[in-house]
Amino acid sequence: INLGFVSTLADLAASDERFADFAAFQNGTVYNYDLRTNEFGGNDFFESAAANPHWVLADLIKIFHPELVPDHEFVYYRLVE
């Protein structure tokens, strides 16, 4: 969670090969908060997440306990592929 400017799992491994040793990496369950990034690289997480903690919380619940919010669509987080 919260990888900064990493777009793919390959980018993450290239930044430090030790990341590939983590279970989340190996299972393909790595998430980043850059779903709402514009064409200039601006990330809406830093603009609106503080005003919408319920969206952040719902995203985190979807990541850690998806059975609790089966219909939730991510607002800030995305699965890194």
Q: What is the pLDDT along the chain (81 residues), one digit of tens a residue?
A: 788 888 999 999 999 999 999 999 999 999 999 999 998 989 999 999 999 999 999 999 999 999 999 999 999 999 999
Q: Is the dihedral of CA 3, 76, 22, 8 positive or negative?
A: negative
The residue whose two tokens read 């430090």 is 16
**26 sits in which H/E element:** helix 23-27
What is the pTM for the complete model shown? 0.88
Residue 70: per-residue pLDDT: 97
For residue 42, how far is the Cα from the chain centroid?
Answer: 15
Tell me the C-alpha distance between 47 and 40, whole Å: 14
Give residue 4's region: left, alpha or beta (phi > 0; psi -120 to 50). left
The label of the residue with tokens 């040793």 reads: 21
